[in-house]
Amino acid sequence: MKLCCSSPRALLLFLLLGWWGRSSGFKICSFKLQSLNSTKAANKRVMYTLKRVVSRCDVCLLQGVNDPNGSVMKHLVTKLNSYNHQYQTVASRSLGVNPNDMQEYVFLYRSEIVSVSDHHQYKGKSFARPPFLVRFKSKETRVGDFVLVAVNTAPGRAVQEMDQLYDVFTDISKRWNTETVMFLGNFNAGCSHMTRPKKKEIRLFTKKGFYWLIGDHVDTTTTDTTDCAYDRFVVHGKSFLKQVEPQSASVFNYAKTYQIKKMEAMHISEHFPIEVELKSSTHLPQATPLLILLSLSAILSSSLAAL
């Protein structure tokens, strides 16, 4: 097999630069699926793609999961852990107003670097599917202790439900004595579901201290007929915002990355995943890596020359 580099020193530089070029942050993802049930989970291509998407994330929220006995998530976790990871799940109860369309929120997380310290199912009657609250702890992040709130609003009530998220935040503050909170999921926060004038009715927009990380101009949908920023991240407090990697909040177009046909992507979901990174607790100054690389390269070259 022919190596890409002509010398051991060049090979070392190539490998280490590749290592450093990978994201050093802690990645949080959110993916609204198109009714992931046992029938869809039997499709190997669907599950393979889902495994690839989730494996990029340290914590991944899945919405639209119809898995009352947990068999679908158990299968997905088994596939993920074959990548030499240690994923676990924490899930809400089945939620919804239609008995034929009950769904769960599911967080998948890498248990070797992040743990769940508490969770709570919100019981507000103003939500079709009340938010699911999970408190995480990770020494891999600078923030250390944070709450993620799973959101999947009803399209026809998106503005009202988004406004009620402020009450959810108040509940978290009292329940866990923390304001380090991130809301994430399918807010339906775009197009006809949330017009510009309607923003004035949403306290997460009008109250100070809440920061929306996905802009209104971003398209989070897979279809060609829509161009809407439905899926969002919202963090509370400047102290939490400072622990987010700047400009890391984005849409992951897995159809383009994995060269999947548009119809196949739409079968998985009408939404693309969104992702954001928290700053790592082991983040190094930018000047340090190059010095490390050059030093290691010099050491290896000297060792090989002495052979």
pLDDT of residue 124: 82
Q: Comparing C-alpha atoms, which of 49, 29, 73, 38 is closest to residue 267?
A: 49
pLDDT of 18: 39
Domain assignment present for 42: yes
- All residue ranges of the chain with pLDDT < 70 are 1-24, 283-307
CB contact at 8 A, 210 and 235 = yes
The SS3 assignment for 191 reads: helix
Nearest CA-CA partner of 271 in 62, 118, 91, 75 = 62
* Structure confidence at residue 22 (pLDDT): 39
**pLDDT value for 9:** 55
Domain extent, residue 90, equals 26-280
Is 235 part of any domain? Answer: yes
Phi, psi angles (nearest 5°) of residue 103: -140, 155
Nearest to 31 by CA among 11, 14, 51: 51
pLDDT recorded at residue 103:
96
- Identify the CA nearest to 273 among candidates 297, 257, 295: 257
For residue 210, list its beta bridge partners.
236
* Number of independent structural domains in the chain: 1
CATH number of the domain that residue 161 is part of: 3.60.10.10
What is the pLDDT, as a whole number, of residue 300? 53
Tell me, yes or no, whether 117 lies in a domain. Answer: yes
Closest to 230 in 3D by CA, of 32, 28, 29, 64: 32
Three-state secondary structure call for residue 251: strand
Is residue 6 a part of any domain in this protein? no
Residue 68 lies in a domain: yes
* Residue 143 domain-assigned (yes or no): yes
pTM of the model: 0.85
The edge-to-edge listing of strands for the beta sheet with 231-236 is 115-121, 132-137, 145-152, 181-186, 231-236, 210-212
Q: Is 165 helix (H, G, I), strand (E, B) or coil?
A: helix
